[in-house]
Amino acid sequence: MSAAAIHGDPPAPLPARARQAMLLEPGRLELREFTPPAPGPGELLLKIECALSCGTDLKTWRRGHPLWQLPAPFGHEFAGVVAAAGAGVARFKPGDALMAAPTAPCESCFYCARGQENLCARAMDRMVMGAYADYLLLPAHIVARNAFHKPADLPFEEAALLEPLSCVVHAQAMARPERGETALIIGAGAFGILHAMALKAAGVREVAVAGRGAQRLQWAGAMGADRVIDAAREDAAGAIAALNGGYGPDLAIECTGQVEGWEDAFRRVRRGGRVVFFGGCAAGTTLGVDTRRMHYDNLTLLAPFHFRPRDVRDAFAMLGAGRLGAGRLINARRRLDQLSEVFAMLERGAALKCAVIP
């Protein structure tokens, strides 16, 4: 029995033609026409209301990605409205506003059995790409595990932050920030500021953001950081060392994805502190660790990757409760046919995140 029959809704006709962005090679995008597919069992066809730019998308646009073979559909942060539901879908019906993560675990591999679904052997292979489009097909494993009804008072733009916030939630679940602590975030991009928002919502006493670029630092201060530090200034190291009454930060979260940022986070954290290497570096790069400092300063080094379903649920609850004001991260908007302009704008540092609205 179809979902339409379950809910008593007549099936709506699917559009004959729609648009989808393809990344042909680094720096070369093309908007192609396609026929949106009818959803199969357990699947949903989503009409995209908003897709968001992402640092991973920018890196892929610049140099490709080791996990995605080009040409490929592009974009993975999204929210929209169900256009059609496949057989057996009972939780959603056409017309429902929906937010979802672009991956879900298989629940049967070695890692899933150990509660490490973020390392699922199949999750990245089955990741949904192609959110820069008019329509997107959501496969059954995502519909079943990581899709949610969007709260009516949550804008589509903010709902599309579910995936990046899930990554932040997973990282901070590993780091276990405490209320009385001082945290340093290295990198004033969208992920750095989203970390700052989540830390402040958790009640962390002081959050400092160190980064480059006057505009980004201004955004970080306006969006919740207690202190911003210009990493380009000669006195930046002294300003970081002065945190926490001169002991340095309890927690350092690296969000640049550069080896220099990883090294800086290791250097700046206090004795007994924790370092979160959040930003992924290029393949083949290495980190030199002072083993004496590592041992005698009793440091904890963490390198979180991706997210688990429990992180997605927590991120959904945070967005729905309006605890973060995370929509402030989205400070530019463009149409789907302006997608090339979006990445040029991100290259210039003229926006944190851009909403692409078909």
pLDDT digit string (tens) for 26-82? 999 999 999 999 999 999 999 999 999 998 899 888 888 777 788 999 999 999 999
Question: For position 1, what pLDDT does the model report?
Answer: 39
Question: For position 358, what pLDDT does the model report?
Answer: 94
If 0-12 CB within 10 Å is exposed, 13-18 middle and 19+ buried, where does residue 301 land?
A: middle
Average pLDDT over residues 320-346: 95
Token representation of residue 80 = 């929209």
Average pLDDT over residues 164-189: 98
> Where does the pLDDT of residue 95 fall: very low under 50, low under 70, confident under 90, or very high at 90 and above?
very high
Residues 167-170: contacts with CB within 8 Å, 24+ apart? 167/191, 167/278, 167/304, 167/306, 167/307, 167/311, 168/194, 168/195, 168/198, 168/315, 169/198, 169/307, 169/311, 169/314, 169/315, 169/318, 170/118, 170/304, 170/306, 170/307, 170/308, 170/311
What's the pLDDT tens digit per position in 245-295? 999 999 999 999 999 999 999 999 999 999 999 999 988 999 999 999 999
| pTM for the whole structure | 0.94
> Where does the pLDDT of residue 12 fall: very low under 50, low under 70, confident under 90, or very high at 90 and above?
low
Average pLDDT over residues 183-196: 97
Question: Domain 3-160+325-357 classified CATH 3.90.180.10?
Answer: yes
Q: Is 308 left (phi over 0), alpha (psi -120 to 50) or beta?
A: beta
Domain ranges of the chain: 3-160+325-357, 166-302
What's the pLDDT tens digit per position in 284-329? 999 999 999 999 999 999 999 999 999 999 999 999 999 899 999 9
Classify domain 166-302 at the CATH topology level. Rossmann fold (3.40.50)
